[in-house]
A and B are shown apart, each in its own frame.
Chain A
């Protein structure tokens, strides 16, 4: 087999590329399509307090993990404060400290979330509550209530549900009214329920939720109830008895410890503001990839600074265009000016979009050619002539931009980003072909170049392809493999079938 080496190499490249892609899609769950959008929630907690003399210390409870969400990013804006983070079993505590501060202080904490599952906490052994001491009058009421509820329930979950139903019922009996007494705030209400549940020897705790609603500006944490069912913690709405989290709720902290604790300050306050953005999955993917910590993602293009990323978004599409050129030249046999000139023209179209790009290119080419023929009459030597053409192209471009600006066409301004060297070279080449082989051949090659440039522009700006190439840069190996194969394609070109048509149609 004469192309064994190339075939082996190409197959290897394709295998490598395909398996990395497969791993990324199935294991890292990177999306294949760019259109998938994801909700991105940004929560900002603004801590304000007035300082008192001396050093200040601010502690705020932060979620350690948010069930139902993936934390993409978090940051602290805290100026000259020293910041430490502490973990306990269920929560994190951020501690800002400063020795001297002035007047009103503001600290920010910001976190970004997208819906998604993270592995659950492993709870420590749950401690079952022991015998509780209640005031005499309450004990009777409690015992009666618990007895009624126990009769109407089968397990912890239904017990809790039944209990909450009764406690919250509008037409409640005397016992319940007594138990409801002095529990006006939500927090007090939840801790009252917890103490009642302790009477039934059921472990329970307070959790604090932040309800995500787009555009909320002064959100507060809402206390919620969790009950241990023997296997896991079940969440209940303390006001209705419904089980489960409300949709779009973030579990901010466990337990009833205060959210904020300030020493050396007063009038401390936390304000949550929340907003939602829709983001392309690509952008979310990158941050997510960093959190998943796949070893392959260390080499993701997403790890580059955004500016460099944008350069690579363009660069990484060039091989796609180059492969197209290989196809069109070696398989089809299309004639173009230069080998990669059409690619460069296509890159220029990125700035202007296709229709405008073509129009401007043709306009500049036509004007340039006319002037180039005049220069021929002056008998200039090659290099100065090329330089003259380049200068004229820039003059023309300036003129076109100024004129279109006057006419109020903003598109004309983008012509300035057109690579003028390419236009100058194209003009020179075209005029040579014009003289040597006639106008027909010249226009044919020009049309060929613009045709290839248009197709490669459409390919190179294809959103889907761009997403694929950027998220799966290992596809470059696959492009390389195809190019290697095409490099050993020794069959006929389509243009040769046309060239030798006289012998094909002749028959035997």
Chain B
């Protein structure tokens, strides 16, 4: 069998139902995501405001820095908060996000313990404003928001940063999820291409099923050595419900919803991505195509998120029988 797979690798991938970049762009994103709704997700400020109106839990917004002169007032703006996150409203791929976990006289302390002087923080915000992290270099605004105090359930398996749960929601139905665990390499960020771990999740039970780091399949966290299999994610149905509800929020058919678990506030929606990546398939050892095709076969998608979560679980069970990677 092995040599056959090597001879015709794309046939093998097709059999496994793996979604490729071209097909994702051509058959799903172009078809189901209308361009005019992109600004709703590309601007994290707008997403946040929409979510707040719809009653979807998000991290509290402390301040918005829109112009250079506000950088000078930063000390007063930040005075009430010792912990916070600075992020560009138009950033992508987790770039430009600065997480401050504490403050001292000399300045702000980053997650990894490094100290940033006030002028370094100012410069970072100036860079955000001038559009260094935004797509196409457009002038941007910087958001300062609540730093999620993540649920200790993941303490053993995440290095410094905030783990989050990425769910692909197709036509309002959550089709695949993964837990993203930061590593020393990813500098506390939960983006796989920056070195975070992706862990597959059983959609029905909310238990993890083993992960992928870069391109390798792994069973334990590389920094702590703690197993990443069979962890139970607390409040799994709530997470699915929250993810499913984001479909109406932004009117996009194919999205990735990022959710974090706060120890006190429960699941909070961090951001919505209109072009979610493909590594989720490796993390789950499952291709996306069988699930996406199952959703496309459904004639009418129910309007209530609860119904859709039920559908999500039944689609998951149906496609479980097909080949695992």
Contacts and interface: CB of A to CB of B under 8 A. Distances in A.
A497 interface: yes
B70 interface: no
A501 B217 CA distance: 11
Given A499-B215, A503-B13, A507-B1, A382 B131 contact: yes
B289 to A, nearest CB: 11
Describe B's contact surface by its main secondary structure.
helix
Top-10 shortest CB links A-B? A382-B130, A490-B23, A492-B20, A503-B325, A490-B26, A507-B1, A497-B9, A379-B123, A507-B2, A492-B10
A491 B10 contact: yes
B132 interface: yes
Contact of A496 (B16, B21, B68): B21
B114 to A, nearest CB: 15
Contact of B216 (A330, A489, A491, A502): A502
B130 A502 contact: no
Interface residues of A, number: 28
Contacts of B263: none
A306 interface: no
Given A488-B26, A490-B26, A491-B22, A432 B132 contact: yes
Contact of A505 (B2, B68, B278): B2
Q: Counting chain B CB atoms within 10 Å of each CB, which of A333, A383, A503 scores highest?
A: A503
A26 interface: no
B146 to A, nearest CB: 25
A493 B127 CA distance: 35
A374 interface: no
A305 to B, nearest CB: 38
A436 interface: yes
A56 B244 CA distance: 98
Contacts, number: 83
B282 A382 contact: no
B123 A330 contact: no
Interface string B94-132: 010000000000000000000000010001001100111
Nearest to A501: B215
A508 interface: yes
A379 to B, nearest CB: 5
A170 interface: no
A500 interface: yes
B6 interface: yes
B282 A491 contact: no
Nearest to B2: A507
A506 interface: yes
A355 interface: no
A382 B127 contact: yes
Contact of B6 (A436, A488, A500, A504): A504
Interface string A470-490: 000000000000000001111
Given A490-B26, A491-B20, A500 B1 contact: no
Contacts of A137: none
A381 interface: yes
Contacts of A487: 26
A381 B126 contact: yes
B130 A381 contact: yes
B6 A508 contact: no
Interface string A457-479: 00000000000000000000000
